[in-house]
Homo-oligomer: A and B are copies of this chain.
Amino acid sequence: MTATATPPPAAGPRNRIGIGRETYKGLPTTLCAGCGHNSITNHLIKALYESAIPPHRLAKTSGIGCSSKAIAYFVESAHGLNAVHGRMPSITTGAKLADRELVMVGISGDGDTASIGLGQYCHLIRRNVDCTYIVEDNGVYGLTKGQFSATADIGSVQKKGQVNEFETIDICGLAVELGASFVARSFSGDGKQLVPLLRAAFAHRGTAVLDVISPCVTFNDHEGSTKSYEYVKAHDTVLQELDFIPADREIVVDYPEGTTTTVRLHDGSEMVLRKLGPEHDPSDRLAALRVVLEGRSRGELVTGLLYVDPEMADLTERERLPQVPLRDLGEAELRLSPDAFAQLLAEWA
- Considering the chains assembled together, what is the distance between the CA atoms of A119 and B173 in angstroms? 16
Show 29 residue pairs from A and B whose CB-CB distance is below 8 angstroms, ordered by the A residue: A115-B119, A115-B123, A116-B119, A118-B118, A118-B119, A118-B123, A119-B119, A122-B169, A123-B150, A126-B150, A126-B166, A126-B167, A126-B169, A127-B166, A165-B313, A165-B318, A166-B318, A167-B178, A167-B179, A170-B177, A173-B177, A174-B177, A174-B178, A177-B289, A285-B293, A286-B289, A286-B293, A286-B294, A289-B289
CB of A226 to closest CB in B, whole Å:
16
B residues less than 8 Å from A122 (CB atoms)? 118, 169
Which of A127, A166, A173 lies at the interface centre, i.e. has the most chain B CB atoms within 10 A of its CB?
A166
Q: Tell me if A235 is interfacial: C-beta within 8 Å of chain B.
A: no
Q: Is A290 on the interface with B (CB-CB < 8 A)? A: yes
A236 to chain B, nearest CB (A): 22
| CB of A164, distance to nearest CB on chain B (Å) | 10
Within 8 A of B (CB), among A140-177: 150, 165-167, 169-170, 173-174, 177
Which partner residue on chain B sits nearest A297 by CB separation?
Answer: B285
Contact with B along A287-316 (1 / 0, CB 8 A): 001100110000000000000000001000
B-binding residues in A (CB < 8 A): 115-119, 122-123, 126-127, 150, 165-167, 169-170, 173-174, 177-179, 285-286, 289-290, 293-294, 313, 318
Please, how many angstroms separate the alpha-carbon atoms of A329 and B122 in the complex?
40
- CB neighbours (8 Å) of A167 from chain B are 126, 178-179
A285 (CB) vs chain B CBs: closest residue: B293
Chain B residues in 8 Å Cβ range of A116: 119
Chain B positions within 8 Å of A318 at CB level: 165-166
Tell me which of A174, A179, A290, A294 has the highest count of chain B C-beta atoms within 10 A of its own C-beta: A179
* A173-B318 Cα distance, complex, nearest whole Å: 24
Closest Cβ–Cβ distance, residue A177 to chain B (whole Å): 4
Given A118-B119, A286-B294, A289-B289, 9 other A-B residues pairs in contact with their CB atoms under 8 A: A115-B123, A118-B118, A118-B122, A123-B150, A165-B318, A167-B179, A169-B178, A173-B177, A289-B293
Question: Which of A127, A165, A313: most chain B CB closer than 10 A?
Answer: A165
5 closest Cβ pairs, A-B complex: A167-B179, A119-B119, A118-B119, A177-B177, A165-B318
A174: chain B residues within 8 A (beta carbon): 174, 177-178
**A40 CB → nearest B CB, Å:** 25
Q: Tell me the bound Cα distance from A223 to B165 in angstroms.
A: 47
| A112 → chain B closest CB, angstroms | 12
- On chain B, the residues within 8 Å of A119 by CB distance are 115-119
